[in-house]
Amino acid sequence: MSMQGFQMDLVSEHRLSEMSPVEKVRFIIDEVKNGKILVLEKGLSPEEEASLIEMTMTLIEPDGFSGIEMESYPSEVDTSFLGKILKKNTLKSRLTVIGPADQLKTLRRDRNMISALISTNK
Amino acid sequence: MGVIRKFKKNFSDIFKRMFKKQNARIGIYGPPNAGKTTLANRIVRDWTGDAMGSVSHIAHETRRARRREGVTIKTNGSSISLDIIDTPGLATKIDFHEFMEQGMDEAESKRRAKEATEGVIEAVKWLENLDGVILVMDATEDPFTQVNVTVIGNMEARSLPLLIVANKVDLAEASPSTIRDAFPQHPMVSISALEGKNIDTFYEELAKRFG
């Protein structure tokens, strides 16, 4: 009996840190359009999240790709002394789950818990 | 960027802010149907007598950002002039079938969905050109949406002021305290943009945050 299901890739912080912001967004979009669910160990920066939303919108097609479901925890602000001096907040991004909108559905989420439903039926 | 260059840039930003003549550009953001245009209309109507855009119960009614320059708000003896940008609702997915469920035919739904995607792109692009954001949330909905998390993250990363509006408190199921608990690090005002409830407190907070 063949096993049916979806593919889930757990992407380490190290793997993503080797990519530029553009490469990260491209990598995520390509994988998700192929039906994969990605779990990013360290997530994306807020700017990268915005870029991902922007690129997603350019690729939406009727009866095709309808977008992504993205679930990340709110970033944590690094309030170190140096950060305050530079007046630039350093945000610590956190675990993020991204998948095709027609397969991944958020059930519940709070500051420290994400509950999601993954469907094998499109 | 090196430390010295960052210092120079920050000093330059402060200098520009001290002597700038332009009004602060404030974007009204949020998910579709949170009441962004209703709030924009109320602000513009209260202080200029005009309206900003049309409102509908169907999501993505606003598909182009609208900008109203020089809205002067007077509160507590002081006044501030702002450029208000009402942005299309942000989303990570848009399915034309949802428009068909609202009674539109297929061709119209597809056209509308396409325009909605363009609207989201425009809203994202505006994020880079603002001095602050009013983030409107529907107080009857779960505040932990990706759109809210992403907008708040972008403002925090840029160290720009943010005011959260818990809208629709005229509805019995509204729970503004859930929003306050979700994002306790940012100021929040509970209002009904539709009925004008608590709108004076909103203007006072607006002047405090963006003045």
Average pLDDT along chain B: 90
pLDDT digits (tens, 9 = 90+) for A22-64: 999 999 999 999 999 999 999 999 999 999 999 999 999 998 9
Only one residue has tokens 């998910």, namely: B31
Q: Under an 8 A CB cutoff, do B94 and A57 touch?
A: yes
Q: Where are the domains of chain A?
A: 8-118
ipTM score for this prediction:
0.87
B91 and A CB contact within 8 Å: yes
**Is A62 in Cβ contact with B96 (below 8 Å)?**
yes
Domains, in order of start, for chain B:
19-210 (3.40.50.300)
| More confident call, A74 vs A17 | A17
pTM score of the predicted model: 0.87
Question: What are B92-134's pLDDT values in tens digits?
Answer: 999 999 999 999 999 999 999 999 999 999 999 999 999 999 9
State residue B151's pLDDT score.
Answer: 96
The answer to whether residues B52 and B37 touch, using CB atoms and an 8 Å cutoff, is: yes
Tell me which residue in B93, B113, B121 faces A54 most closely, judged by beta carbons. Answer: B121
- Considering the segment(s) A8-118 as one domain, its CATH architecture is 2-Layer Sandwich (3.30)
Chain B hits for A40, Cβ within 8 Å: none
The reported pLDDT for the residue numbered A16 is 95
B159, B6 in Cβ contact below 8 A?
A: no
Residue B12 has what pLDDT?
61
Provide the mean pLDDT of chain A: 88
Comparing A39-43, B19-23, B64-68, the range with the smallest average pLDDT is B19-23
- Packed helices A46-59 and A21-33: angle between N→C axes, nearest 10 degrees: 40
Provide the token pair at A63.
């009866």
